[in-house]
Structure 1
């Protein structure tokens, strides 16, 4: 972590000097005032310069990106990680040759990586972010699969006139099912069970 000690006539002037030397902005640094300094007689005699120690703050998103590169290497996959930010939501996209290994069965490995990325990104961070970790468009394909499954299972519940329980899913996937069936007046949906076994039940 880069840090620099700077001085100035005032604390703010010293901080500004350090920020310029670090080539960053005020919201990306942590400031420690070593000496507030003093103006002195007539602003000249006995004056003492203010001294501050300024260090680069932790860039949450960059650090999480590096973490994901490290994790994928440990899984023997050489993946490129790209980032896109939309407000307070960050999407990390993984691309590479053995990408199926990072997705896992029904996206379980990818979901686990996403959970870890969320923890790393928000650990001691000043800004809270929600996270999506995607791998070459898997999330979009999975969403389409879940929406199709939702319709099939709703039809089955109505046809058999009894409850149908789906496989356990993480909260964001359950939300896709709930949303897909929201406009269907012939059934209702609710979540049952405790994580990691929490699942959706479709009821006629």
Structure 2
């Protein structure tokens, strides 16, 4: 059964932008019908109505094809570099029951334990060899995908950012950024396979990664507010490891919620749990 969701804005264009930001889809990928184009009312104040659109949500069949595509990418990487080269992913203990339980952590060490793997490593200098290898690797992959793409690099302590300019940005990014993620994954492995000090690699196209990170943070704050207001877990479906990490970090310092990845495979659900407020258990004792 096709699932839909309505979005609104001061005009149709704004409603479309709101839908794209929340669903993390491009305008080309968005399937929608205009319910109402809205009206400005009298002098833009009295009787003004927002525009509304109805969006067809991505179905599970599409998600399965995405999973198959990523599995194909992983098999190629395993064959080329070995299974032990996959990116380490945060392992968060799965609940014993199907329904997530909302529990207040019993100790102050919960936050440190939950996000221990997200601690920033000691900075290392990015070598000239790493920069040259990174540019060459990304350039070769880009040339196989599109024409007229050029790669440049800049460094910031242990971060190597490789920027692609020109070519067909849509094809290089891929649906939900999957092609770009795969290029970053492979480049990371090529640079770090013989390096003692790990270099953090980022591949970006026309600022796409920063835009996606900003949209994910906005979504994280919005869903956290929803969880706190309703007192019930809020779920974000079908997220990659990299996207889940952005949400985890965005809410890491929010003491009123906690986050947990759930499910199997490359794409998993991320659940935001509201923490129970500490109740006052002390009772006054009166002498008889």
Give the alignment's TM-score, normalised by structure 2. Answer: 0.46
Is the 8 Å Cα contact of residues 77 and 99 (structure 1) preserved in structure 2? no
Which residue of structure 1 lines up, in the alignment, with residue 238 of structure 2? 168
Alignment of 1:32-181 (within 5 A): 59-125=129-195, 127-181=197-251
Following the alignment from structure 2 to structure 1, what is the Cα–Cα distance between the partners of residues 256 and 204? 34
Which structure shows the bigger proportion of residues in strand conformation?
Answer: 1
> CA, structure 1 residues 185+123, in 2 after alignment: closer, same or farther (shift >3 Å)?
closer
Shift of 1:127: 4.6
- Name structure 2 gaps, 5 residues minimum: 1-127, 275-288
- CA deviation vs aligned residue, 1:70-127 (integer Å, no higher than 9, x gap): 1111112431101112222211011114112111222121111100110111122455
Contact 2:192/2:199 (CA < 8 Å) preserved in 1? yes
SS in 2 for 1:148: helix
Q: Which residue number in structure 1 is paired with residue 40 of structure 2? A: none
Q: Is the 8 A contact 1:79 1:99 kept in 2?
A: no
Q: Deviations over 1:44-78 (max 9, x none)?
A: xxxxxxxxxxxxxx933312211211111111243
Secondary structure of residue in 1 paired with 2:256: coil
Q: Which moved more, 1:66-75 or 1:154-163?
A: 154-163
Q: Distance in 1 between matches of 2:193 and 2:130?
A: 8
Q: CA deviation at 1:138?
A: 1.0
Aligned to 1:5: none
Equivalent-residue separation in structure 2 for 1:183 and 1:177 (angstroms): 11
Q: How far off its partner does 1:177 sit?
A: 1.2
**Cα distance in 1 between the residues matched to 2:227 and 2:171:** 34
* TM-score between both structures, scaled by the size of structure 1: 0.64
RMSD after superposition: 2.2
Size of the alignment, in residue pairs? 147
Whether 2:260 is the aligned partner of 1:190: answer yes
